[in-house]
Structure 1
Amino acid sequence: MRLAVTLLTIVPLRADRADRDTARRAMLLAPLTGLVVGGGAAAVLLLGDLAGLAALPRAALAVAAAAVLTRALHLDGLADLADGLGSGRPPEDALAIMKRSDIGPFGVVTLLLTLLVQAGCLATAPDAATGVVIAAVTGRLALPWACRTGVPSARPGGLGALVAGTVATRAAVAVTGAVLLAAALAGAPAGGAEGALYAALAVVAGLGAALLMLRHAVRRLGGVTGDVFGALVELAATAALVVLAAA
């Protein structure tokens, strides 16, 4: 749990071990770190409401809080993956583009549109505070699936090599079932049976979007990297917010 929190949030917990077995357990616990990020964003939404802020400024500040709580690492991964895939280059060249410290036009456009969609959905969601927590947990649910057996690492080193192929599919399925149940229970108080249904659908949509992108990234790059993980987190969370806004 300490490794999961250290890798995925700004909270500075000391993780004494970072071998593949510890990494496997950290990825299985990754959805729980969404409670930290989503909880912080939800607190900003509630404080903004108390301060009398309109819905859109509250939502924008909540999105900013989530970025701060993750050091914007997932957004950085999203931008890097967009630049790499958008280049249309062979895998080696695309990976080299992703490793650069600068950001290209594909990354800029992807970041702007993603943040705009996230803020817009939070501004219109019927229960934004609960929704942002569900979305944050859903985003991190993509990680056990991206680390499951059979998904290779695109590079011999780095985060991708540490966690790639460590999670059994049945374990990812079990974690998904737990997240679906928790999301339904969280959505029920505000919206009853319909709220529970939309919350569960948000998880399914977020995970589905992430799996589609994972398949494309593995086909284009030859495997996963830390940037791919970050992009999947943001994509899954965004897709979940879209469904919750539709509620």
Structure 2
Amino acid sequence: MPPADGAEPAGGGSRGGPLRDCLDGLRMAGGTLTAVPVAAPRVDRAVAGWAMALAPLVGAALGTAAAAVLAAALLVGLPGFLSAVLAVGSLALLTRGLHLDGLADLADGLGSGRPAEGALEIMRRSDIGPFGVITLVLVLLIQTAALGAVADSSPAAAAAALVAAAASGRLAITWACTPRVPSARPEGLGAFVSGTVPYWAAAAATGAVVAVSALAGLAGGGAFALSCALAAAAGPAAAALLLARALRRTGGITGDTLGALSETATTAALLVTAAAAA
């Protein structure tokens, strides 16, 4: 998958064939989107394109791991809400909290009301302001309450919902790296991955996520399978609204923006499955 803009490889690596790019991209996705210490032997924009296109696969793996935590908690008799807290907490641990940190930073930047440069400067800071704190609390409460509601209805359905939501969250990252979505800065993760995912690859990833979510949802019944498919599509749609707002205010994407989009899509997907379970 060549970069959308035809950029030359960065970092001194030589361009490999499609299979090598794909494998290196999968390693980059794992190392970038999780706490697992996976190092790609070669990192350039061709590899970055594969990494962002394969992000939903990493999301599905994260969701499966968190679903195992959820199932174990429910199996020992913990209530649905507490089990959901442990599952959502495990997702934060598996990602080093990077997506949540990005959500808080973007909330502070957008909430500041400052022009683009001022908002980006706020997002660069290591501290979290009031907008970030409020956003984190609300998002985590919504995620745990929604997942807990599904768990109270059906543990199997809750596990499926978590896989669908985690994959949907990373699918939002894939779409944010398609052409015509600029970077807010000339450096950083946003600049490195901006425009690297062709539209056909994002569309293929969307089809795969919707299909996998529907299959996982069969654990909760045919109707819930449809709900999981809708949830997988609703997540990136909700994230697109935030992306539009971020582009107007900051001029492009940053690593923080990608994390915020992921958490937004995950939350929206969980809300849809909770509504279906109710």
TM range (shorter): over 0.9
Aligned with residue 145 of structure 2, among 116, 120, 126: 120
- Report the Cα distance in structure 2 between the residues aligned to 1:134 and 1:162, rounded to whole angstroms: 27
1:149 maps to a residue whose letter is: P
Q: What do residues 45-85 of structure 1 show as CA deviations (whole Å, max 9, x unaligned)? A: 11111211111110101111000000000000000000000
- Report the Cα distance in structure 2 between the residues aligned to 1:181 and 1:130, rounded to whole angstroms: 12
Q: Which moved more, 1:105-114 or 1:160-169?
A: 160-169
Q: What do residues 121-140 of structure 1 show as CA deviations (whole Å, max 9, x unaligned)? A: 01011421111111000000
- Report the Cα distance in structure 1 between the residues aligned to 2:43 and 2:208, rounded to whole angstroms: 25
1:98 matched residue in structure 2: 123
Unaligned runs of 5+ in 1: none
Q: Find the structure with the greater CA-based Rg.
A: 2
- SS of the aligned residue for 1:15 comes to coil
**Mapped contact 2:217–2:224 kept (Cα < 8 A):** yes
1:150 matched residue in structure 2: 180
Q: Any residues of structure 2 matched to 1:126-205 within 5 Å, and which?
A: 126=153, 127-192=157-222, 194-205=223-234
Q: What do residues 140-188 of structure 1 show as CA deviations (whole Å, max 9, x unaligned)? A: 0011110001110000100001000111112211110111111111112
2:81 is equivalent to residue 56 of structure 1: yes
- Report the Cα distance in structure 2 between the residues aligned to 1:20 and 1:133, rounded to whole angstroms: 28
2:105 is equivalent to residue 80 of structure 1: yes
Q: CA RMSD in A?
A: 0.9
Question: Given the two structures, how large is their TM-score scaled by the length of structure 2?
Answer: 0.87
2:82 is equivalent to residue 65 of structure 1: no
Q: Percent identity?
A: 59
1:215 Cα shift?
Answer: 1.1
- Report the Cα distance in structure 2 between the residues aligned to 1:101 and 1:202, rounded to whole angstroms: 33
- Report the Cα distance in structure 2 between the residues aligned to 1:122 and 1:232, rounded to whole angstroms: 19
Aligned with residue 13 of structure 1, among 38, 50, 54: 38
- Report the Cα distance in structure 1 between the residues aligned to 2:174 and 2:96, rounded to whole angstroms: 21
**Mapped contact 2:63–2:163 kept (Cα < 8 A):** yes
2:262 is equivalent to residue 233 of structure 1: yes
- Report the Cα distance in structure 2 between the residues aligned to 1:130 and 1:203, rounded to whole angstroms: 11
**Mapped contact 2:53–2:197 kept (Cα < 8 A):** yes
- Report the Cα distance in structure 1 between the residues aligned to 2:42 and 2:260, rounded to whole angstroms: 25
Runs of 4 or more, structure 1, over 6 Å off, are none
- Report the Cα distance in structure 1 between the residues aligned to 2:193 and 2:116, rounded to whole angstroms: 20
- SS of the aligned residue for 1:148 comes to coil
1:62 maps to a residue whose letter is: A
1:35 Cα shift?
Answer: 2.3
1:153 maps to a residue whose letter is: S
- SS of the aligned residue for 2:221 comes to helix
Unaligned runs of 5+ in 2: 1-25
- Report the Cα distance in structure 2 between the residues aligned to 1:167 and 1:241, rounded to whole angstroms: 26
In the alignment of these two chains, the number of paired residues is 246
Q: Which moved more, 1:22-31 or 1:119-128?
A: 119-128
1:189 Cα shift?
Answer: 3.4
Q: Which moved more, 1:51-60 or 1:74-83?
A: 51-60
